[in-house]
Amino acid sequence: MGQHEDIKRIGLLTSGGDCAGLNAALRAVVHRADSYGWEVVGIPRATQGLMARPPEYVEFDVSSTHGLLRAGGTVLGTTNQGNPFAFPLPDGSTCDRSQEIIDGYHLLGLDALIGIGGDGSMAILRRLAQQGGLNLVGIPKTIDNDLGCTERSIGFDTAVNIATEALDRLHFTAASHSRVMILEVMGRDAGHIALNAGIAGGADIVLIPEISYSIDNICQTIKGLKRNFATIIVAEAVCTEAGEKIVQTNRLGQSRLGGIGEHLADQITEKIGAETRVTVLGHVQRGGTPSPLDRVLATTFGVEAVDLIAAGKYDHMVSWQNRQVVHVPIAEAIAEYQAVSPGDALVKTARGMGICLGDTACHEVHVPIHPDATVLASA
């Protein structure tokens, strides 16, 4: 008798910031679970559905997955607030509500839980699973692509497509007005969106938090261009030259990353008199229709996650490595933050294309992508 003979009902939740491709993963889970004869229930609003009494759930079967493949957001809802181990209360204090979630899992009669999330959500879900003996399998999602042990997470490709399209559009208006156009993109502490979209969209300057920059290098690069306009893409977590993070604080005192684009624009105008404009792309990167690649990834991950449950392989996360889907311990995935490394292939590509990464002015840099590149070029 296989491991999966014990399984009858699995739960699925989406946790953390939304992104494109979450519903496609849900659809794949429902289809694959159906082939084992299992029921799938969706948990609304991440772990909060399990906290509710009675616990909240939505039943899914293959006939109810119509339209999910291409739908943006998450039909289950999500939250990136309210860590259950320090759940915020109206008076500003916090309390531990983890046991309510564990009880909710058992009240729903779940045999396993698939959690779709980024590094923060994976850490919380794993802690809950360990405390309550829950059978957890993870699916990685984050537009930031910063979760360890997987080359790709759901939502990243769509975000890069949207940022690339924005650069494409900015290129023409930059040229028309002879301006320096700055595009500020998301990515929290990692520069993957900026680097990928910067290469795809032909930016002149790409600034990411992993590589420090000087305003002088940026200005020299702009002045050295053989045209009178420039495009710059900057990740929201890039600091000022002095190393300060720029945040926007609302009237309630809540802060979030944002504003580095305007900061750079002022500095550039002041130093070289260039006319600058800033576009902050924001949540546009998270919304909308998933790209074909994100649909494929989400579908692959969904099928594999169900197969992991069938194999009794809990406390693991599905992962994309070397052109195939594999699985890794969740503990390893959350222990290894995936920032852009200085030796990253795309960093070399950007330098090889003469894109300024801020640490040196672009016309000074000529690093061949391949050691034989100069030989081939002169052959």
Q: Rounded to the nearest whole angstrom, what is the least distance from the CB of residue 142 to ligand F6P in the complex? A: 6
CB of 66 to ligand F6P, least distance (A): 28
Give the rounded distance of the alpha carbon of 104 from its chain centre.
Answer: 28
For ligand F6P, give the closer residue by CB, 182 or 257. 257
User: Nearest Cα to 74, choosing from 121, 123, 5?
Assistant: 121
Site string for ligand F6P, 225-254 (x = CB under 6 A): -----------x------------------
Positions in 188-227 near ligand F6P (CB under 6 A): 188
Active-site residue (options: 144, 146, 157, 294): 144
Instruction: Pull the structure tokens for residue 193.
Output: 């969106």
Q: Which residues lie below 8 Å from residue 207, measured CB to CB, with a gap of 6+?
A: 191, 194, 213, 218, 232, 233, 234, 235, 238, 260, 264, 357, 358
Is 103 annotated in the active site? no
Site residues for ligand F6P, window 46-85 (CB under 6 A)? 80
Which among 76, 1, 83 has a CA at the least distance from the CA of 40?
Answer: 76
Which residue's C-beta sits nearest to ligand F6P? 186
Task: Name which position in 11, 13, 17, 184 contacts ligand F6P (CB under 6 A).
Answer: 17
Which of positions 128-147 make contact with ligand F6P (CB under 6 A)? 142-144
CB closer to ligand F6P out of 184 and 304: 184
Distance CA 16, CA 155 (A): 12
Binding residues among 304-323 for ligand F6P as defined by CB under 6 A: none
Q: In angstroms, rounded to a whole number, what is the distance separating the alpha carbons of residues 303 and 103?
A: 27
Q: Which is nearer to ligand F6P, 51 or 186 (CB)?
A: 186
Instruction: List, in order, residues 6 or more apart from 317 with CB less than 8 Å away.
Output: 122, 137, 138, 139, 140, 149, 150, 327, 328, 329, 330, 333
| Closest to 141 in 3D by CA, of 348, 294, 306, 296 | 294
| Segment interacting with ligand F6P (CB under 6 A) among 37-45, 101-109, 182-190, 365-373 | 182-190
When the beta carbons of 27 and 141 are compared against ligand F6P, the nearer one is: 141
CA–CA distances in Å: residue 286 to residues 73, 161, 256: 8, 11, 16
Residues that bind ligand F6P (rule: CB under 6 A) add up to a total of 12
Report the residue number, 15 or 23, with the smaller CB distance to ligand F6P.
15
Tell me how far, at minimum, the Cβ of 153 lies from ligand F6P, in Å: 10
**Interface characters, 106-125, with ligand F6P (x: CB under 6 A):** --------------------
Angle between helix axes 156-177 and 192-200 (nearest 10 degrees) is 50
Residues 253-292, mask of contacts with ligand F6P (x by CB under 6 A)? ---xx----------------------------x------
Give CA 292 to chain center in angstroms. 16
**Which one, of 203, 268, 204, 273, lies nearest residue 241 by Cα?**
268
- Closest distance to ligand F6P from the beta carbon of 118 (Å): 6
- Cβ at position 189, least distance to ligand F6P in Å: 9
Q: How far is the CB of 27 from ligand F6P (least distance, A)?
A: 22
Q: CB of residue 161 vs ligand F6P: minimum separation in angstroms?
A: 15
Kind of pairing between the strands at 136-140 and 316-321:
parallel
Residue span binding ligand F6P (CB under 6 A) among the ranges 6-14, 129-137, 166-174, 183-191: 183-191
- Quick one: 144 or 157, whose CB is closer to ligand F6P? 144
Please state, as a whole number, how many other Cβ atoms lie within 10 Å of the Cβ of residue 358.
23
The tokens for 360 are 């040196």
Per DSSP, the three-state class of 267 is helix
Give, for 293, the enclosing helix (H) or strand (E): helix 292-310
Please state the closest distance from residue 18 (CB atom) to ligand F6P, in A: 8
Query: Does 186 engage in binding with ligand F6P (CB under 6 A)?
Result: yes
- Which positions are annotated as active-site residues? 144
Report the interface residues with ligand F6P, using CB under 6 A. 17, 80, 142-144, 186-188, 236, 256-257, 286
